[in-house]
Amino acid sequence: MGLLGKKEKTKTTIIKKKETPAELTALDAVCKDDKEVCEALKDFMFYDPRKIKTNMEDAVERAKEYEKDGKIHIAKMWYRVAGGLAIYKGDVAKVKLYLGKYAKLANNEPEPTILKIPEKAVKKAQEFYSKHLKQV
């Protein structure tokens, strides 16, 4: 205690934790020369699409049904799944088609970067898949 019965203020020392650089993910390593492609793929690519329990065609059919029923949020999700599976298949035309439909339904969101660079994105995704997925 200090003079006149008041508590003395003590200095608090804050010890900052050392920040370690984030480890590169496998996708970051494949895309190290093109960060735009990497960010575009992180939004839509499945790291292991073999675990998806539906195929691209079924995802599209579901998307169309939900869109017809006015359930836009669910339709968007299914077009996103179909687009991710198209990336895995390496089908640039279907990536443009399905993610384009996704973007159209998400009319208040900015256009996904992948629609500006689909060829480059699909090429890098295929490189990732060939390196990191064991063939079944």
Dist. CA 125–CA 43, nearest whole Å: 12
- What pLDDT sits at residue 87? 97
The pLDDT, as a whole number, for residue 1 is: 54
Residue 3 confidence (pLDDT) above 60: no
pLDDT, one tens digit per residue, over 55-104 is 999 999 999 999 999 999 999 999 999 999 999 999 999 999 999 999 99
The 3-state DSSP class for residue 133 equals: coil
Whole-number pLDDT of residue 12: 52
The pLDDT-based confidence of 20 (bands split at 50, 70, 90) is very low
- The predicted model gives 16-31 an average pLDDT of 61
Question: φ, ψ for residue 67 (rounded to 5)?
Answer: -65, -45
pTM above 0.75, yes or no: yes
For CA atoms 21, 30, 97, 116, the dihedral sign is positive
Decide: 93 and 83 in contact? Cβ < 8 Å: no
pLDDT score recorded for residue 122: 96
